[in-house]
């Protein structure tokens, strides 16, 4: 092959490498943008639930918010007896939506779910779906959660925020999805200022000494059973009572 041909091939190789690098950078940027950019789920049930939730918010008298995905929505199902015991008399509202990622929560909070209320406390747990639906890296999920905290601080300046670590999932500690969530949690612990935002990691309550998660606590190794919801409520009750300024 001639020197000219070799030079041409070298230039083409470099150009292709630069193109691939640009596409990779663009994809990474778009992925982070998704985690931080408000967007609704395009499902009829989701829109209907959002509309019902906004109607409830417009009634006022809200002291406590639970914000999250299907794990939080489950307070209305397997967690109902525990909810009735701990939260029914605390003027609590459930803002948990099945399959939500960080951007879906952001959209909801910016479209009526915080309007006209001044709750004493908002409890936030979100992010496990970012690891599976779009396979976001930990830093992107953490950025989406930080955007949620910023929205809450801006729209509810008098409300305290309890940010929970993403709950453990999968049976073993070395499961890849568990590791992704653990990496997110390491970043979340730095977002608390202990004045407006407080961080709490309850995950050890759900695991045995070897870090294994049992189906007794989370039957599908993701969503809590009735026992799981009781462990959740009991684990944060002292801090919830303090942040609500209850005697």
Judge whether 67 and 96 are in contact, CB under 8 Å: yes
Told to judge if 70 belongs to the known catalytic residues of this protein, a careful annotator would answer yes
* Residue-range definition of the domain harbouring residue 148: 37-243
Q: What angle do CA 105, 224, 34 make, to 5 degrees?
A: 25
Told to judge if 111 belongs to the known catalytic residues of this protein, a careful annotator would answer no
Over residues 111-116, the mean pLDDT reads 98
Task: With cut-offs at 50, 70 and 90, classify the pLDDT of residue 21.
Answer: very low
| pTM for the predicted model, two decimal places | 0.88
CATH number at residue 225: 3.40.50.1110
| Position 208 in a domain | yes
Spatial distance between the Cα atoms of 194 and 103, rounded to a whole number of angstroms: 25
> Which position among 70, 99, 170, 214 bears the catalytic label?
70
| Position 158 in a domain | yes
- Which runs of consecutive H residues, i.e. helices, occur in the chain? 3-36, 44-58, 70-73, 80-86, 102-109, 130-133, 138-155, 176-188, 226-243
Task: With cut-offs at 50, 70 and 90, classify the pLDDT of residue 10.
Answer: low
> Which position among 2, 209, 220, 247 bears the catalytic label?
220
| Position 76 in a domain | yes
Over residues 168-175, the mean pLDDT reads 97
| Position 213 in a domain | yes
Please say if the pLDDT value at position 32 is more than 60: no
Spatial distance between the Cα atoms of 70 and 40, rounded to a whole number of angstroms: 15
| Position 12 in a domain | no
Which of 150, 84, 141 has its CA nearest to residue 122? Answer: 150
Over residues 128-137, the mean pLDDT reads 96
> Which position among 136, 140, 223, 225 bears the catalytic label?
223
| Position 18 in a domain | no
* Side-chain-facing half-sphere of 150: CA atoms under 13 Å: 11
Tell me which of 24-28, 159-163, 167-171, 179-183 is least confident.
24-28
Task: With cut-offs at 50, 70 and 90, classify the pLDDT of residue 31.
Answer: low
| Position 52 in a domain | yes
Overall number of domains in the chain:
1
Told to judge if 189 belongs to the known catalytic residues of this protein, a careful annotator would answer no
pLDDT for residue 19: 42
Please say if the pLDDT value at position 60 is more than 60: yes
pLDDT, tens only, 182-211: 999 999 999 999 999 999 999 999 999 999
pLDDT for residue 247: 77
Judge whether 130 and 145 are in contact, CB under 8 Å: no
Higher pLDDT, 6 or 87: 87
Q: Is 72 helix (H, G, I), strand (E, B) or coil?
A: helix
């Amino acid at each position: 092959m001639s020197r000219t041909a070799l030079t041409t091939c070298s230039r083409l190789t470099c150009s292709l490498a630069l193109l691939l690098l640009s596409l990779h950078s663009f994809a990474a940027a778009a992925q982070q943008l998704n985690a931080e950019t408000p967007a609704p789920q395009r499902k009829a049930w989701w829109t209907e639930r959002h509309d019902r939730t906004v109607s409830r918010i417009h009634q006022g008298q809200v002291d406590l918010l639970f914000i999250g995905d299907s794990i939080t929505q489950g307070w209305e199902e397997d967690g109902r007896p525990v909810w009735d015991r701990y939260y029914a008399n605390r003027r609590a509202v459930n803002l948990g939506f099945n399959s939500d990622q960080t951007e879906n929560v952001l959209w909801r909070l910016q479209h009526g779910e915080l309007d006209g209320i001044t709750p004493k406390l908002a409890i936030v747990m979100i992010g496990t779906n970012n690891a599976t639906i779009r396979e976001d890296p930990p830093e992107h999920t953490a950025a989406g959660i930080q955007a949620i905290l910023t929205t809450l601080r801006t729209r509810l300046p008098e409300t305290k925020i309890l940010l929970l670590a993403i709950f453990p999932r999968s049976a073993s500690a070395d499961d890849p999805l568990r590791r992704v969530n653990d990496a997110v949690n390491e970043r979340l612990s730095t977002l608390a200022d202990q004045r407006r935002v407080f961080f709490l990691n309850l995950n050890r309550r759900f695991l045995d000494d070897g870090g294994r998660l049992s189906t007794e606590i989370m039957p599908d190794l993701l969503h809590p059973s009735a026992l799981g919801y009781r462990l959740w409520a009991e684990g944060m009750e002292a801090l919830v009572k303090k942040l609500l300024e209850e005697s």
